[in-house]
Chains A and B, each alone.
Chain A
Amino acid sequence: MTLSTIRNKKVKSKKQEAIATLCAVAFWLFVWHIVSVAVDSEIVLVSPLNVLQTLWTVLRDPSFLATVGYSASRILGGFFIAMALGVTLAWVSSRLWVVETLLRPITAVIKATPVASFIILVLLWFSSRNLSMIISMLMVFPVIYTNTLKGIQSADKKLLEMARVFHMSAGRRLLYIYLPAVLPFFVSACSVSLGLCWKSGIAAEVIGVPGGSIGELLYNAKIFLQTGELLAWTVVIVAVSVLFEKLFMFLLKRFVEKLGMGGALHGGRA
């Protein structure tokens, strides 16, 4: 079998996989529709067609962008603060074991504590306006911190010795040795965190109910038993979350390639 035949087979199987996934989604939408018809209650189980209609109404609402912007700015703000803090503290921890030891119980506690406990605590200390930012930051920080630290610690010791012998500058060590070691850990941490920050941030908004947020609308949907609204906004959250993750990953990859370290993302053959 030639290499091109194998490649074609791979492409074909990927295409087939995509079609199979679409079929699976269509199947479950169909099941959802049938069950909703059988239940015959828009409150208990709204039909997918109704969700689609409500989604269209939500999208055409003049305040749609302002609502998404309110939540997105705070949730993503929390993500970026956590990213900056996580990377910086991971670097400091890799140099100073005292800092690593001090941060170990903190990250363990944050990871183990239910997000609802943090939401209530933060509501006691701060106003609900920035609640989702603080919560998303708290949830993302340990993921970014621990992964970045693992990446730094996995840097090839023999390459670091080589750099020492050849008196390579700190900048070059960072770019050519630490960055390739950290990247796989950092990319997977960001991928996990981007989903996590939306889930925790919206949960915080539903509990704190800051005015003008997506969480407030979800809360109202629950109070007024508007299942269609609830699911339509859920679709919006998932879409915005996925879109931002794709955009962030794309920009991150472009940035790494611009630094000439694209090989670190493509298994060494840039």
Chain B
Amino acid sequence: MAGVHELTVRYGDITVLKNFSAEFPDGAVTAVSGRSGCGKTTLLAVLLGLLRPASGTVTGFQRPSAAFQEDRLLPYLTAVKNITVAAGCTAQAAQDALRQVGFDSADSEKNAAALSGGMARRVALVRAMLAEGDAVILDEPFKGLDELTRTAVLRFVNENRRGRTMVVVTHDPRDAEDLGATHFVRM
């Protein structure tokens, strides 16, 4: 069972998380929710190994991949190249995946800087899902997607979970339900 135990995280004098514990069952989807500023993104940073807690332990999450709240795409690379460079998959696999989330071949070859917000979000999600690893962490995955696109992306995410542990931060209970969340962490 992956999880965090008695986690305390501070930014200077400000304590963001104090003695926080949560469990993320292996192979299951856990939805994390809470009001703005409660430390959800901080928790994800700890799970991803980007932030060292002041105290407490993290178990599991040996090699997680992620779709961050911001898309964090390499602006001078094409959508396909953004996926292959980070996820380590073939260009063909990236193109197939992008097609499944509504990209045509011309869009796939556009530089990330030229993509719309919704397109960039989809590239970030495809990158997270195609990367190898033991867990996937998604921070507000469907933010900015229209209903039709959301359906295609949801299908893609569910088809490519490959039994990995998934942590999803979301304000929308529908996201948790559609992704098949079985565990909930309220912060």
Contacts and interface: CB of A to CB of B under 8 A. Distances in A.
A270 B112 CA distance: 10
25 contacts: A158-B68, A158-B72, A161-B50, A164-B49, A165-B48, A165-B64, A165-B66, A166-B88, A166-B127, A166-B131, A168-B85, A176-B76, A260-B81, A262-B76, A263-B76, A263-B77, A263-B111, A264-B76, A268-B75, A268-B76, A268-B114, A269-B113, A269-B114, A270-B76, A270-B111
Contacts of B75: 180, 263, 268
Interface residues of A, number: 23
A159 interface: yes
Contact of B87 (A166, A172, A176, A260): A166
A268 B73 CA distance: 12
Contact of A269 (B74, B81, B87, B111): B111
Interface string A144-173: 000000000000001101111111100010
A78 B31 CA distance: 60
Nearest to A267: B113
Given A161-B50, A268-B113, A269-B114, A168 B72 contact: no
B27 to A, nearest CB: 20
Contacts of B114: 268-269
A261 interface: yes
Interface residues of B, number: 24
B131 A263 contact: no
A218 B86 CA distance: 57
A176 B82 CA distance: 10
Contacts of A166: 65, 86-88, 127, 131
Nearest to A162: B72
A262 to B, nearest CB: 8
Interface string A105-138: 0000000000000000000000000000000000
Contacts of B127: 166
A183 to B, nearest CB: 10
B63 interface: yes
A28 B178 CA distance: 75
Contacts of B76: 176, 180, 261-264, 268, 270
Interface string B125-151: 001000100000000000000000000
Chain B interface mostly helix, strand, loop or mixed?
A: loop
A268 B85 CA distance: 17
Given A165-B65, A165-B66, A172-B85, A177 B74 contact: yes
A176 B66 CA distance: 19
Contacts of A262: 76
A158 B70 contact: yes
A173 to B, nearest CB: 10
Contacts of A161: 48, 50, 68, 72
Interface string B105-129: 0000001011000000000000100
A113 B64 CA distance: 53
A78 B114 CA distance: 40
Given A161-B72, A260-B77, A263-B111, 14 more contacts: A159-B74, A161-B48, A162-B68, A165-B48, A165-B50, A165-B65, A168-B86, A260-B81, A263-B75, A263-B76, A264-B76, A268-B75, A270-B76, A270-B111
